[in-house]
Amino acid sequence: MRVMILRAYLCSATLLGLTALAACSDEQADQPYSSAALAKDPVLARALNDPLMTDPDLASRNQSNAVIAFHDSHPLPPIGADEIAASRAREAARLELLSGGQVASLPLPQDNGDSVSLAGLNNAGDMVTAVGGRADCVESMDAGLLWSTQMPATSAIMPHGMVQQAAGVDTGQCVIRAVRYHTQVSVEDALEYHFTKASREGFSFEHFQGPEAQLRGEWRNEKMVVHGRAGPRGLTEIDVIHWIR
């Protein structure tokens, strides 16, 4: 009798356990992630729980002329200086360039002339105007990280680069792209990358070292400038502006 009762008890406990397991499985199926995993990884928790922002460079503040403003307060996770990551970025850029031929050497730098620095400018319109771009198109520009994906192939950012700000316009006679990004490679490596890609397409360049490293190029009715300087957290900051005259 005791054996039968014990068997019945075990069967009931087994059925209850299976029922609980099934309920747990259903509950887990409804959850895309584990709360325990989030507790161990606050970065993952923030990434999954933070509200989505379709335009991060505008979402953090409301300001006058915000549609063409650049600023540094954005929700994207920062990258820091790391020699291993820098080596990977440098190698990825070199492999991309070598797939199209030899990597070109930068031309010798010239006297500064009327060169300008973009380091203190965070407004896309001011940057375009400072480099001699289409000032008449500035009011038509709008900011958005998606503009960085619409750069011409000659002006695309380096592999592993992190876009900080982007703005542009593509209306009528106004065609402009302006992007600021951070990279872990040196200023010279970044300029060499952009010089090689654009010169293969027919761009001719002038190279200046002051007041900051920069390239000025043109081809037919297109112009582009690339400025580089030391950025935050040991990174390199690069500005690329490309427009049709």
Q: Which residues contact 126 (CB under 8 A, 6 or more apart)?
A: none
Q: Which of 49, 66, 84 is the last residue of a domain?
A: 49
The number of distinct structural domains making up the chain is 2
Q: Is the predicted pLDDT of residue 226 greater than 60, yes or no?
A: yes
Whether residues 134 and 210 fall in one domain: yes
Please check whether residue 227 is in contact with residue 116, taking contact to mean a CB–CB distance below 8 angstroms.
no
Whether residues 148 and 234 fall in one domain: yes
Whether residues 40 and 126 fall in one domain: no
Range of the domain at 94: 56-244
Q: Is the predicted pLDDT of residue 199 greater than 60, yes or no?
A: yes
Dihedrals phi, psi of 242, to nearest 5 degrees: -130, 130
Whether residues 119 and 223 fall in one domain: yes
Please check whether residue 128 is in contact with residue 141, taking contact to mean a CB–CB distance below 8 angstroms.
yes
Which pLDDT tens digit goes with each residue over 1-30?
443 444 444 444 444 444 444 444 444 444
- % of the chain residues with pLDDT over 90: 57
Quick one: which H or E segment has residue 230? Answer: strand 222-230
Whether residues 15 and 85 fall in one domain: no
Whether residues 136 and 73 fall in one domain: yes
- Three-state DSSP class for 244? strand
**Residue 230 confidence (pLDDT):** 95
Whether residues 15 and 41 fall in one domain: yes
What is the mean predicted confidence (pLDDT) over 184-210? 95
Whether residues 88 and 201 fall in one domain: yes
Whether residues 7 and 24 fall in one domain: yes
**Residue 56 confidence (pLDDT):** 42
Q: How far apart are the first and last CA of the chain?
A: 98
Q: How far apart are CA 242 and CA 217, in angstroms?
A: 9
Which pLDDT tens digit goes with each residue over 87-110?
999 999 999 999 999 999 999 988
- Three-state DSSP class for 32? coil
Q: Specify the amino acid at residue 223.
A: K
Whether residues 98 and 197 fall in one domain: yes
